């Protein structure tokens, strides 16, 4: 009898194995779905017995102002693309709370590895509206010198890695950076953002396992907005969302209402504390909805009903919900709202000098090789022969 009892639990590399004479398969789906943490109801009222991190009036007002600014920024650049003044754009409509609230809960030393729907994080850190315009319009002041597609922002000064369109490649990079921060004993973490579609990539799974094994201080923030371009989550996976995947890899996880700015702030604030002080990865699944099209190259009404989009826009708007809460607290009013919205557009000046043609050939080699010199010469000769076929505002 003693021998049987001693063999019920086996010490095994990586954990204990509990033996049982009963043959039982793990269910393919849970009987009870994962709860979704929220603090504010749809009318901006605090839910009874809510557990959340307090936010000061100053921080709350800045959060709301940044959310409105992000909305306005999206409107300006979306219209500019439709008018043919820029080639491409991606909006964050419906996901403003994820952007701004998460950024507010981090510190400037935390390193951000974005996807392409997180300009609000840069906005919070001090990236100006003109800097956004410089990148989208490819102006001379653009830090990428006009070489990148619009919305591929980046800032060394603000610890925000440059956006890459390739899905999920930033996730393993974030883990590597987090491990480096841990080795250097820095009081900081790495944060990476991605959509539900990104979790269908191998990079996500490799990064989760890597982070768990190395105990790296990294926060994974998944924007589960229901759609990977035109592919719904029902066609991507059968698991109970994203958060449950963390447990499989040994990563502490939480599902949050991504349209509740107060819940997002609280979750990220707590996640950062655990990541930095306990040296552990944290996975946050932010449940939201992509109200806008995937990009200006997409028409989402071709694969989802317009009334569904409109319901999320009106009934579940994160900006309106947060405004109601700060109004209830007496921190905001209609006069402040009017002043804010009228001041934003004046901060952007579209027309600016373009980068010179020779910038196409610099910043790769220390000494430019002869083949690139030849290409530069041929390009300039071609522009001079056919000036009407090239933009007149690009210096040769």
Residues with a catalytic annotation lie at 79, 165, 294-295
| Each residue's pLDDT tens digit, 12-25 | 887 888 888 899 89
What is the rounded end-to-end Cα distance, in angstroms, of the chain? 89
Q: How far apart are CA 210 and CA 233, in angstroms?
A: 25
The predicted model gives 40-68 an average pLDDT of 97
The predicted model gives 188-205 an average pLDDT of 97
**Homologous superfamily of the 57-343 domain (CATH):** Thiamin diphosphate (ThDP)-binding fold, Pyr/PP domains (3.40.50.970)
The predicted model gives 29-45 an average pLDDT of 91
Average pLDDT of the chain, as a whole number: 94
The predicted structure's pLDDT at residue 350: 67
| Each residue's pLDDT tens digit, 269-297 | 999 999 999 999 999 999 999 999 999 99
Q: Which long-range contacts (CB under 8 A, 24 or more apart) does 205-212 make?
A: 205/249, 206/172, 207/171, 207/172, 207/174, 207/175, 208/245, 208/246, 208/249, 208/251, 208/281, 208/283, 209/249, 210/172, 210/175, 211/175, 211/178, 211/249, 211/251, 211/281, 212/249, 212/250, 212/251, 212/281
Confidence of residue 225 (pLDDT cuts 50, 70, 90): very high
Q: How far apart are CA 192 and CA 176, in angstroms?
A: 11
Q: How far apart are CA 5 and CA 23, in angstroms?
A: 18
What does the domain layout of the chain look like in residue ranges? Answer: 57-343, 357-389
**Cα separations (Å) of 299 from 199, 284, 304, 346, 356?**
23, 29, 10, 30, 35
Q: Judging by beta carbons within 10 Å of its beta carbon (0-12, 13-18, 19+), is residue 105 exposed, middle or buried? A: buried
The predicted model gives 313-318 an average pLDDT of 96
| Each residue's pLDDT tens digit, 386-396 | 999 988 888 88
| Each residue's pLDDT tens digit, 240-256 | 999 999 999 999 999 99
The predicted structure's pLDDT at residue 396: 86
């Amino acid at each position: 009898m003693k021998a049987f009892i001693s063999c019920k639990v086996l010490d095994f590399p990586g954990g204990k194995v509990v033996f049982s004479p009963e043959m039982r398969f793990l269910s393919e789906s849970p009987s009870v779905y994962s709860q979704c943490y929220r603090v504010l109801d749809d009318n901006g009222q605090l839910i009874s017995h809510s557990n959340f991190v307090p936010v000061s009036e100053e921080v709350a007002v800045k959060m709301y102002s940044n959310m409105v600014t992000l909305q306005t920024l999206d409107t300006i650049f979306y219209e500019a693309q439709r008018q043919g003044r820029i080639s491409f754009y991606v909006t964050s409509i419906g996901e403003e709370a994820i952007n701004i609230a998460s950024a507010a809960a981090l510190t400037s030393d935390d390193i951000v590895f974005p996807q392409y729907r997180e300009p609000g994080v840069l906005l919070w850190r001090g990236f100006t509206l003109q800097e956004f315009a410089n990148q989208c319009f490819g102006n001379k002041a653009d830090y990428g010198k006009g070489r990148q597609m619009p919305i591929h922002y980046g800032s060394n000064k603000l610890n925000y890695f440059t956006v890459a369109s390739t899905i999920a490649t930033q996730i393993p990079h974030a883990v590597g950076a987090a491990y480096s921060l841990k080795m250097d004993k820095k009081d900081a973490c790495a944060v990476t953002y991605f959509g539900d579609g990104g979790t269908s990539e191998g990079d996500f799974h490799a990064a989760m396992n890597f982070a768990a094994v190395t105990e790296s201080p990294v926060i994974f923030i998944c924007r589960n907005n229901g759609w990977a371009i035109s592919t719904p989550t029902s066609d991507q996976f059968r698991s109970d969302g994203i958060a449950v995947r963390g447990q499989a890899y040994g990563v502490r996880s939480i599902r949050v209402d991504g349209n509740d700015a107060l819940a997002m702030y609280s979750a990220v604030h707590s996640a950062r504390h655990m990541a930095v002080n306990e040296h552990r990865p944290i996975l946050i699944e932010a449940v939201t909805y992509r109200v806008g099209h995937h990009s200006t190259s997409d028409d989402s009404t071709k694969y989802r009903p317009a009334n569904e989009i409109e319901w999320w826009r009106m009934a579940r708007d994160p900006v309106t919900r947060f405004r109601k809460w700060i109004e209830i607290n007496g921190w905001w009013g209609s006069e402040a709202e009017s002043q804010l919205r009228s001041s934003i557009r004046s901060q952007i000046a579209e027309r600016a000098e373009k980068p010179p043609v020779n910038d196409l050939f610099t910043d790769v080699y220390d000494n430019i090789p002869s083949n690139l010199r030849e290409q530069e010469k041929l390009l300039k000769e071609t522009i001079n022969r056919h000036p009407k076929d090239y933009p007149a505002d690009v210096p040769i």
